[in-house]
Amino acid sequence: MMKFNTLLAVVLFFVCFDAAAQQNFDYFDQPTVYEVGISAGPMNSLTDLGGRRGNGARGLKDLRFKDMTFGGGLYAKVLYKNIFGVRFEINRGRVKGSDDELESVKSTAIDRFDRNLSFRSNITEVNLLGEFYPLTLFGKGGPVYVNHALSPYLVAGVGLFHFNPQAQLNGQWIDLQPLHTEGEGFAEYPDRKVYKKTQLDIPLGLGARFQVSDHINLGLEFLFRKLFTDYLDDVSTTYIEPSLFSKYLTGTDLANALALNNRALPDPDHPDRPGVYPGDRRGNSSRNDHFFSLNLKIGYVFSYKVSNKQ
C-alpha cells in the first residue's frame, strides 16, 4: 500500500505542474547551460532512536518533526536542453533523536522510552546527481529543448557522507564510535565490525524549478538518502557484557563507554537492578537508518537568454 501511495503522489506531482508549465515557453540560446546556487532547509532522520508510539513504524510514519534541524549547501550544475542535468553539490547539516521524546506515549513504547538513549550527528556530504525533466521531453508546443518556466524533475545519484554520532554526558558531547558501545571490533562479537564514519549513500528525490528571470531560478526539492549503515545513531543490535569494555578500552574512553552503552532506566519493580542485561535488544539491525532534507534552492544560470514565443 505504501508503494502505491508513493507512486500516486509522484504521478499527481507531475500532473499538477503540467497545466502551469504549458502556459509559458521560453527558449535557450544554446542547448547546454551552466548553473551555480545555494540551498537551505529542514533535515530529519529515521533511526532506532526516538520515533512515535508502539514498537516504531516503518518509513515516514515514524517521523518526529520535533527532531527537525536545518542544513544547507552549495551546488554547480550542467543542464542539457532542459531535459537532463548533472549536479555536484556539497551539503552540511545535523540529525538527532532521543528516546525521552516518547514520554507522552511511553505506555505503548515502554521498551524504547526506558532504553533512554539519545544522539546527535553532524553530517557533511558530497553528491553527484542526475536530474530528469519529463515534461520537457514529453511536452508539446515547441522544440524538444523547450524550457517551461515551471519545471518539475526527478533526481537520483550517488553520495559520500561523513557522520559522527555523539551523546551528551555531564554537559559534554562525547564521540560514540571510539567507545564500541555494542562491541564493534571486539573478538567476542566477530560479526560486529567497526563502522566507518565516511560511507556511500544513494540520494533519491523530486523537485520543481521556477525560472524567475533570465538568470535566476528558485527550486524546492525533497531528497531522501538511502544508507548502507544502521549506525547513524550508534544503535543497532544488542547490549553486551559490560566487563568486556575494560579489555579493550582504558581511561576516559572506558569510563564513557560504561556510562553511555547502557543508559536504561531502572526496572520499576526492582529499582536495585538495571533495566536491561547483556543480550537484550538495544536496536533493530533489520533496517538501516536514513536521513532526508527539504531544501529551497536559489540558482544563477550562465549563458542563458530568453525569447518568448507564444
* Least confident stretch, 2-16, 101-115, 240-254, 269-283: 2-16
Banded model confidence at residue 107, pLDDT cuts 50, 70, 90: low
**What's the CA gap between 49 and 119, in Å, rounded?**
8
Q: Give every CB contact of residue 38 below 8 A, 6+ residues apart in sequence.
A: 72, 73, 74, 75, 297, 298
Tens digit of each residue's pLDDT (9 = 90 or more) over 70-106: 999 999 999 988 889 999 999 999 999 887 766 555 5
Greater model confidence, 117 or 155? 155
Residue 198: predicted pLDDT:
98
How does pLDDT run across 288-309, given as a tens digit for each residue? 999 999 999 999 988 655 555 4
pLDDT one-digit tens code per residue, 35-75 = 999 999 999 998 888 655 445 555 555 556 677 889 999 99
C-alpha 93/C-alpha 66 separation (Å) is 16
Of 147, 146, 237, 133, whose CA–CA distance to 191 is shortest?
A: 237
Q: How far apart are CA 147 and CA 135, in angstroms?
A: 9
Q: Measure the N-to-C terminal CA separation of the chain; round to a whole number of Å.
A: 43
Domains annotated for the chain, with CATH where assigned, are: 27-175+194-238+288-302 (2.40.160.20)
Q: Does the pLDDT value for residue 163 go beyond 90?
A: yes
Task: Look up residue 290 and give its amino acid.
Answer: H
pLDDT bucket at 272, cuts 50 / 70 / 90? low
* pTM attached to this predicted model: 0.81
Count CB atoms within 10 A of the CB of residue 305: 13
What radius of gyration do the chain's Cα atoms show? Answer: 24
Contacts of 294 (CB under 8 A, 6+ apart): 41, 42, 220, 221, 222, 223
